[in-house]
Each structure stands twice: as structure tokens, then as C-alpha cells.
Amino acid sequence: MQQKIIILDFGSQTTQLIGRRVRELDTFCEIVPYNKFPKGDESVIGVILSGSPFSVHDPEAFQVDLNQFVGKVPVLGICYGAQFISHTLGGKVEKSDSREYGRAHLQYINKENPLFRGFNDNSQVWMSHGDTITAIPGGFEVIGSTADVKYAAYSNGKDIWAVQFHPEVFHSLQGTQLLRNFVVDICGSRQDWSAASFVDTTVAELREQIGNDRVILGLSGGVDSSVAAVLLNKAIGNRLTCIFVDHGMLRKNEFQQVMDDYKVLGLNVIGVDASEKFFSDLAGVTDPEQKRKIIGRDFVEVFNAEARKITDARWLAQGTIYPDRIESLNITGKVIKSHHNVGGLPKEMNLQLCEPLKWLFKDEVRRVGRQMGMPEHLITRHPFPGPGLAVRILGDITPEKVRILQDADDIYIRGLRDYKVKLSGEEARRVLAAGVPAQMQDGEIEVSLYDQIWQAGAVLLSTVRSVGVMGDERTYENPIALRAVTSTDAMTADWAHLPYDFLAKVSNEIINKVKGVNRVCYDISSKPPSTIEWE
């Protein structure tokens, strides 16, 4: 029986990051809503309570019956989780005079407690809370304090541990050690979850799930659908038929390049150029959500037309991954943005849904791809939106605008691939944790800017025109905005601090070579409050 850690999601921005950290410990985990604890599941070896945007005193605050698991398996509360445990069991949580946010250092650590084994003195942690614990329940003791937070960590010494900081973020420098202490030493994980075990288990499950049926998979050219295709091909071979629809808004020359890649992988792929239909239906449309819905609808229509030709198909496979589902509908029930591959299938498709990657994070998908021997340039591709460049063009969509953006984006992405940087310390750790293949030498790694960042792309501000001068002539053309972010899971992201000389070179090349552009800007907003894509 496969062991698992259950992470109860109280709505924190970093809940998914907790999951990633546990998975990095070769331990399977499931993130479930705070009120959906799986009762009677004997595979559960521990429970983690996440943070939350709420105060424990808010009338709408999420609550859970601790009796479902306390006393049965070890429990770790993080931030709101720690405050909720204290508040529920008789401690005291009060509004802090000032929001406790940012780096802090543990001035007192009980290193005898199993949660803090291996910790350094003055270990740096990351705080992010408005309330603070002012008294802990009877039978508990303080096991960690900072200069401003007496009850930074506490435990009953038996089966409950709680911390008011966030061990899952990189700024908590020994956060992984803390989670290892909890998951491996306290909960007793066998650490038998890995890319290899996932491939073996999933291939077996797919064969049982699908039987002798035929499967259709909609390819996008991205990492997720490509890994899903190779995984299915490994499971059912030529009973998989892939359909790759070109909506006309892919990157420059991408359709043919991707088709060539799939041929090398031995996949059975049908390529469909439907760009005229998409451009026609998008004519005059400027609203971002309407663009997404039109592209999603047209994709289904085009896909259906091809799928009907495969009369014995019973399944539709998609490369849906976990962040797709979380971002389409978060725990509060509010849609952040719709994803083309989330939300079920139209009834007329008459197919069952198969999503072999639906519990994986992006870095895990890449590890699975490497495990199956996929080419590195496919595995390290940046995420790319399903609607393509349509959501990177502000305003209506035309073939000429797409051409402008394709040319600018091509210069930008090629530049990122060619520019090499050396990284050390926290930044090197983050890049290596994301699965970038690099070797540490003398405390440094060398990677391309493309590998250093999570996602990059150019955006055409076609609703804006700016004055410029070229060859003594006045121009009145569109600006291009460049976007690049660093992230580990796409749930949060920071703008990438690209070198000035790189930005200067790329800006100059775009303005000189791309007709229709006379200005280049760089986007320095993070997520939240901004999203990675502009639309």
C-alpha cells in the first residue's frame, strides 16, 4: 500500500508548494480541501494543515474537526494551521500590532525536539501572518521562538507540531529539513515515491483503466501534453492517436518544429491547420475571457471533426496538471482564469476523460519526461498558454499582429537561450530544485537565462501606439512588453531580474528587425497581484 501525507488546504497561496516539498522527499501526498479529509484511509501516515487568507476569528474562516486525525497520525500545522490548532485546543490567538511578514531568525530552538533535528543556530525562517499566538494550549511547550514571536513553534511532544512560519518557501533556509524531519522521521515515510515509480504505477493503471480501447489526445506542443502522450504511448502503443491543432497563434515556426519532434518520439500524430477558422471567429474580439472561450469552443469543434474519423475511440486524454485545476477554481470558489483543458468534456464528444498527470506539478512532469528518455529541449520548454499568442496580444487578433508578435517573441526567446549566467546560493538551489540539468562546481552552476526563469514571452500592446523616430522619420507604432518570471509552481511568481546588457541587446534587435514595433518595455510585476500572462 502506497503511503501518503494529506495536506488540508485552507486556501493559502503556498499550499501547493507544501505539496511539492513533500513530493521532493520521495513521499506521495494529496492536497484536499480543509473539509474533505479522507476518513478510513489507512494509507495516510500524517496530516499537514496549510496557511489561509483568513483569521481564525473571521466568521467565514475555514474550520476542520481535529478529532478526525489528531491522536491517530502525526499532525503539523503551518501558519493558520498552527493558529487554528492553538485556538481550537484552548490556546489564544490575537491580532498582532503589526503584520509579521518577511525574514526572521529562530533565536531559540529546541534541538532535542524531532522537528528541529539538524537545525543551525539562528536559522532563517519566513513569516507571513497578521494574527499571532499569545498562549498555547495546556500540555504543549514552546520549541522555537524569534525576536518578535515567542510561539514561533510549539508541540505537545507526542503527535502535534505547529509552526507560525512557512517552511515550504525557499526563504526558510532549513524548511526542507523541517519537513523531512516531520515526513520521514516523525511520520515514518518509506520514501518510495519517485518519477520511476510514478511511470511504472501509472502505466499499469492506464492499461487497466483503458483496456483495449482507443484513446485520442489533444496535443498542444507543450511539456504537459507531450509527456502525457509519451506516457500513454508507453502504456497502449498504437491505440493512441494524437491530434495537434494549429490555431494560428503558436510561436514562430512552432507547428512544423513540434510535428518533427513528435515524429522522432514515434507518436501517431494528426496535424490540423485550422488558423483561418480561428482568425475569422476572433475577428473584432477584445475581451480576454471571450478570446479564451472562443478558442476553447473552436478547438473542440476542430478536434471533434478529426475525432469523429476515429470511430472506435472511447477516451479523450489531456495533459492537465494540478496547478491548472487549482487556478481555474480555487478553494473559495472564485475563478481566477479559465483553462482550456479544465472543466470536463462537452456531452457531444461522448468520450471518457483520461488525465494521467492531473496530480503532478510542472517540475514533476519534467522529471517523468526525463525518466522516459524524452529529449531535453522538449522537457525544458517554458509553459505556453493554450490560447497561444491570442492572450499576449492586447486588443483584437489579426494575422498581421500575430506575425509581429511571433517575430519579436522569437528574437526574445532565442536571446534567452543564448545568454549564459552563473548562479550560486539560494538562486542556484531554486533552479536545481526546478529540475534544470546543471552541475554544481565550486558552489556555482552555469545555465542559460532561459533555464534560469520559469516562463517568458513577448506581449504586443496593440491597443497602444507610441511615437518614435527611425531614420529621421517619425513613426507611430506599437510597443512590445517583455515578460519573464521566476517560480517553482506557477502559483506565485516574481519578475526575473534580467541583465541590463541582455535587455538592451534584445530591445535594439526587436526595434530594428520587427516592422510595426518602435518601443520595448520590461514587465516588473509579480504574481500576486498580477498574473503571469497579461490576459
**Active-site residue list:** 79, 166, 168
Helix (H) or strand (E) holding 507: helix 500-513
CA separation (Å) from 172 to 3, 128, 190, 330, 475? 26, 12, 25, 25, 50
Q: Coil, strand or helix: which one is 205? A: helix
User: d(Cα 360, Cα 338) in Å, to the nearest integer?
Assistant: 19
Q: Calculate the CA 238 to chain-centre distance.
A: 31
- Decide: residue 496, CB within 10 A, 0-12 exposed, 13-18 middle, 19+ buried: buried
The grid cell for 11 is 486556501
Q: Is the dihedral of CA 358, 360, 366, 371 positive or negative?
A: negative
Angle of helix 223-236 relative to helix 362-371, nearest 10 degrees, comes to: 40
CA separation (Å) from 394 to 144, 203, 287, 367, 511? 50, 42, 9, 35, 19
The grid cell for 165 is 512560519
The grid cell for 413 is 526567446
Q: Is 237 left (phi over 0), alpha (psi -120 to 50) or beta?
A: left
User: d(Cα 493, Cα 472) in Å, to the nearest integer?
Assistant: 41
What number of other Cβ atoms are within 10 A of residue 513's Cβ?
12
